[in-house]
């Protein structure tokens, strides 16, 4: 139980960290201010402010985000009119820190009750100083000033020139795409690592790698290097087809045609009856050919990456063509259940699970749903087609609808997962 919980937190943390780092890195490259880089959701349990970005770890390991200046997550309601704050000034009499928290005290801070502010374009803040409501005083705010929020977390203000909408369209598109892209890269790297942890890479050819001593195949004269081409007259193009044909004939005589040194040979044998779970299968005692060279291991990683991506697309296609079901989706509860199964298979099981989840996260995030990265990219493409910015009101409504849809879907999926794994 404890190992599963720790593994779940590590796997989920890696997925979120890699995904959000993609957004973070390309936003920084584009000159977009990343106000906060958060791992986890809910209350903050640790934070550190460095180079204009506040790095936070939150209590619930169920996601994360980057708070881009002017982005969807950048909803700053800390400095409303009437809010009491203290100001810290620099030598040029500019405000460099605005403290709205009772948990932090500024040295020689100037008490102010906010009347109005502009921290985007003209960079000023005005209000009543020391409780004197007879006049409103206005102070210039430094471009790189910080705000200490109510919970004590320090973040940079967001002037317009460092907001995401001030970046070029290609830079914004790359920033939105970078999260899923990083998930694909992570999956490929993990699958390649898996390729190097395996003792050998199956070739899936119909060539025998090894014949077990005293087995049915050994007694029939089969040798390593023989290529089984037909079973009971049916062609076998690869190892999977060949083993399926043999396993379906337990304790029954079969005719095996094979090639050795370019010559065709034929032999009859009776596969041994073996119990595999609840099934009875036939075995003749042969093992698949395996390779250990670097190229084969790299190819294995790429093949598993493509195979996993294709499988996920097939599932999505099935949902659209055969009807939607909540059982086709899985939230944190399903991931936890999957983590439990993967943990029982050891390190390789966890790595394979991590790679599959990473591909899944990347593909799902690219779906054209508002509030997901794919939805943002669709808006970017529309902007490129019409050659003008989409009205903020329209974009805000679309994003809000997307968030509401995702929130409702997450609630339904989570409840369905709880029923599937813990109640039924």
Instruction: State the pLDDT at residue 326.
Output: 58
Q: Does a structural domain hold residue 10?
A: no
Cα-based distances in Å from 208 to 113, 231, 268, 285, 362 = 82, 14, 17, 10, 38
Active-site residue among 20, 36, 289, 395? 20
Q: What is the DSSP letter of 37?
A: E
Judge if 351 and 282 occupy the same domain: no
What percentage of the chain carries pLDDT values higher than 70?
91
Considering its fold, how many domains does the chain have in total? 3
Of 396, 383, 348, 420, the closest CA to residue 172 belongs to 383
Q: What is the pLDDT of residues 102-145, one digit of tens each?
A: 887 888 889 999 999 999 999 999 999 998 888 999 999 999 99
* Structural domain for 250, as ranges: 204-288
> Out of 32-41, 349-358, 405-414, which region has the weakest mean confidence (pLDDT)?
405-414
Task: For the chain, state the CA radius of gyration.
Answer: 30
Give the domain-ending residue among 133, 157, 181: 157
Give the domain-ending residue among 231, 259, 288: 288
Of 180, 164, 151, 146, the closest CA to residue 58 belongs to 151
Q: Does a structural domain hold residue 151?
A: yes
Instruction: State both tokens at 123.
Output: 């960079």
**Its pTM surpasses 0.85:** no
Judge if 221 and 276 occupy the same domain: yes
Instruction: State the pLDDT at residue 308.
Output: 85
Judge if 325 and 406 occupy the same domain: yes
Q: pLDDT tier at 324 (50, 70, 90 boundaries)? A: low
Residue 34 β-bridge partners:
68
Has residue 329 got a pLDDT over 70?
Answer: no
Q: Does a structural domain hold residue 255?
A: yes
Judge if 110 and 220 occupy the same domain: no
Instruction: State the pLDDT at residue 116.
Output: 94
| Close Cβ partners of 33 (under 8 Å, ≥ 6 residues apart) | 27, 52, 53, 68, 69, 156, 158, 162, 163
Instruction: State the pLDDT at residue 194.
Output: 92
Q: How far apart are the C-alpha atoms of 11 and 14, rounded to whole Å?
A: 5
Annotated catalytic residue 149: no
Share the mean pLDDT of the chain.
87
Instruction: State the pLDDT at residue 291.
Output: 85
Instruction: State the pLDDT at residue 399.
Output: 75
Judge if 250 and 338 occupy the same domain: no
Give the domain-ending residue among 254, 288, 322: 288
Across 35-52, average pLDDT: 89
Q: What is the pLDDT of residues 333-354, one digit of tens each?
A: 667 677 777 888 888 888 998 9
Judge if 281 and 306 occupy the same domain: no
Q: Does a structural domain hold residue 64?
A: no
Q: Does a structural domain hold residue 127?
A: yes
- Helix 2-29 to helix 332-344 angle (10° resolution) is 120
Q: How far apart are the C-alpha atoms of 393 and 387, rounded to whole Å?
A: 18
Q: Does a structural domain hold residue 66?
A: no
Q: Does a structural domain hold residue 243?
A: yes
């Amino acid at each position: 139980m404890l190992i599963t919980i720790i593994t779940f937190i590590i796997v989920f943390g890696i997925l979120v960290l890699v995904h959000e780092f993609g957004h973070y890195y390309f936003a920084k490259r584009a000159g977009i201010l990343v106000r906060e880089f958060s791992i986890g959701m809910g209350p903050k349990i640790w934070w550190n402010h460095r180079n204009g970005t506040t790095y936070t770890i939150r209590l619930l390991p169920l996601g994360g985000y980057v708070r881009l200046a002017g982005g969807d997550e950048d909803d700053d309601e800390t400095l409303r009119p009437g809010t009491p704050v203290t100001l810290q000034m620099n030598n040029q009499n500019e405000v460099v820190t605005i403290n709205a928290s009772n948990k932090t005290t500024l040295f020689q801070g100037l008490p102010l009750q906010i009347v109005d502010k502009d921290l985007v374009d003209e960079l000023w803040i005005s209000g009543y100083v020391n409780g004197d409501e007879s006049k409103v005083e206005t102070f210039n705010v430094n471009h790189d000033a910080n705000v200490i929020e109510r919970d004590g977390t320090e973040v940079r203000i967001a002037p317009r020139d460092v907001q995401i909408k001030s970046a070029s369209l290609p830079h914004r598109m790359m920033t939105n795409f970078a999260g899923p892209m990083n998930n694909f890269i992570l999956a490929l790297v993990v699958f390649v690592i898996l390729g190097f942890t395996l003792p050998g890479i199956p070739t899936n050819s119909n060539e025998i790698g090894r014949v077990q001593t005293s087995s049915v195949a050994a007694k029939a004269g089969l040798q390593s290097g023989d290529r089984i081409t037909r079973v009971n007259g049916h062609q076998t193009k690869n190892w999977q087809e060949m083993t399926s044909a043999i396993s379906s004939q337990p304790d029954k005589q079969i005719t095996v045609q094979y090639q050795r040194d370019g010559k065709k040979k034929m032999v009859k044998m009776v596969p041994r009856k073996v119990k595999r779970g609840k099934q009875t299968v036939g075995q003749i005692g042969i093992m698949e050919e395996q390779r250990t060279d670097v190229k084969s291991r790299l190819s294995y990683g790429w093949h598993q990456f493509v195979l996993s991506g294709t499988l996920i697309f097939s599932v999505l296609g099935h949902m659209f063509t055969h009807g939607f079901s909540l059982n086709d989706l899985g939230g944190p509860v399903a991931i936890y259940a999957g983590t439990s199964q993967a943990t029982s298979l050891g390190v390789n099981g966890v790595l394979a699970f991590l790679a599959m989840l990473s591909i899944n996260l990347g593909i799902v995030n690219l779906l054209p749903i508002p509030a997901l990265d794919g939805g943002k990219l669709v808006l970017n493409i529309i902007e490129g087609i019409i050659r003008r910015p989409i009205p903020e009101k329209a974009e805000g409504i679309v994003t809000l609808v997307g968030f509401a849809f995702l929130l409702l879907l997450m609630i339904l999926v989570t409840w369905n997962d709880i029923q599937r794994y813990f109640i039924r």
